[in-house]
Amino acid sequence: MRRILLAVLAVVAFAAAPLMAQGAPPQGSAGQPYTIEYYYKCQWGHQQEFLSLFLKNHWPLLKKIQATGRILALKIESPAYHTTEDGRWDYRVTIVYKDSTVATTANPDEAGFIQQLWPDQETYQKEEQRRFEILLAHWDLPVTDITPNRP
């Protein structure tokens, strides 16, 4: 009986090993750059409106934060081809933060930057509301570069 139980446990452990191995390891050690991809899926026909509002009302804020050193790199991408609706995304914004602490804590300067960049807060708030009304989905995905260093 004991042998059968051990054999069953070994089979279960062997079968479960690939499930536990899936996914990337956590990002680098403390103080290392931390990358997050932000995905945006818009209502059909509103992709350009979303992008225009993003570039007007969010990109300048990201660039301002980048100038402080909290953000090391910024990139906006759009897919060249379409995919199935369930996997579709329209824009991906990749941000490389100085480190995981900066990426996961509020920026104390952000509210001041918003006031400075957009003195007409009423228009800014309306446009930001519209930008989010256009979205069908939005998700944030921390990513880890696991490319081997050796050839």
Q: How far is CA 45 from CA 42, 53, 67, 105, in A?
A: 8, 14, 34, 34
Name the strands in the sheet holding 91-97, side by side, starting at the edge strand that comes first in the sequence. 71-77, 91-97, 34-42, 135-143
Q: What's the residue count for the chain?
A: 151
Beta bridge partners of 74: 95
Query: Which CATH architecture fits 31-143?
Result: 2-Layer Sandwich (3.30)
Residue 135 has phi, psi (to 5 degrees) of -75, 135
- Cβ atoms of residues 21 and 98 within 8 Å: no
Per residue in 12-33, pLDDT tens? 444 444 434 444 445 566 789 9
Q: How many Å apart are CA 31 and CA 20, to the nearest integer?
A: 27
Per residue in 36-94, pLDDT tens? 999 999 999 999 999 999 999 999 999 999 999 999 999 999 999 988 888 999 999 99
Q: Please report the pLDDT score of residue 141 as a whole number.
A: 96
